[in-house]
Copies of this chain bind each other. A is one copy, B any other.
């Protein structure tokens, strides 16, 4: 029998190694799996590469992980969102490396990682400072850059409902990076508001099919 529901946050994040790449969902604090990120911090894991849109808000979740010195590098599009003081302190102290990636490129690179795409050409960042050093190609008279896939060792996501197969639905704009990150990691852990009986989620309305999900925990 398939049952992806685990009892504790600790079980949900178990097994992450030092140096791991962690996909951290959310747009600002919306859709951020704060409790999973807190649980990851409690495991003591370090030297993490975190992939996220922002770089943490307030003191919990991704911000807390950064404040605790566990994040070696952050790959994100916009580090300074609402109340980014944990990131800013680490950045000014030279304790965190920043790889800045345009938001759509960040998302597309993870989708490529999820979809068996080994690289892809897009126009975003061509002819700009963020395009420096990238392989370029002229396609139909326009300049494109080659982008490479991103895959996580673990993705930490947040959803609204789940069933024991790991099918997920989201709530409004809290969907954001969750579906793409859930697809793009070797292991995907999701915190949800509630677990419903198998079959209660309309098969037409499943947003993330359970095939992408490994562990579900109710918070």
Q: Which A residues fall within an 8 A CB radius of B?
A: 108, 112, 115-124, 137, 139-140, 142, 144, 169-172, 203-205
Inter-chain contacts of A120 with B (CB < 8 A): 112, 117-121
Q: Give chain B nearest CB distance to A105 CB in angstroms.
A: 11
Inter-chain contacts of A142 with B (CB < 8 A): 118
Q: Are A121 and B119 in contact (CB under 8 A)?
A: yes
Chosen A-B contacts, 25 in total, with CB atoms closer than 8 Å, are A108-B115, A112-B120, A116-B122, A116-B123, A116-B124, A117-B120, A118-B120, A118-B121, A118-B123, A118-B137, A118-B140, A118-B142, A118-B144, A119-B120, A119-B121, A119-B139, A120-B120, A120-B121, A169-B204, A170-B204, A171-B204, A172-B203, A172-B204, A204-B205, A205-B205
Q: How far is the CA of A172 from the CA of B205 in the complex (A)?
A: 11
Inter-chain contacts of A112 with B (CB < 8 A): 120
Inter-chain contacts of A119 with B (CB < 8 A): 120-121, 137, 139, 144
Q: Give chain B nearest CB distance to A202 CB in angstroms.
A: 8
How many copies of this chain does one complex carry?
2
Q: Give chain B nearest CB distance to A131 CB in angstroms.
A: 14
Q: Give chain B nearest CB distance to A139 CB in angstroms.
A: 4
4 new A-B contacts at CB < 8 Å, known A117-B122, A119-B137, A171-B204: A108-B115, A108-B117, A116-B122, A118-B137
Q: How far is the CA of A170 from the CA of B172 in the complex (A)?
A: 20
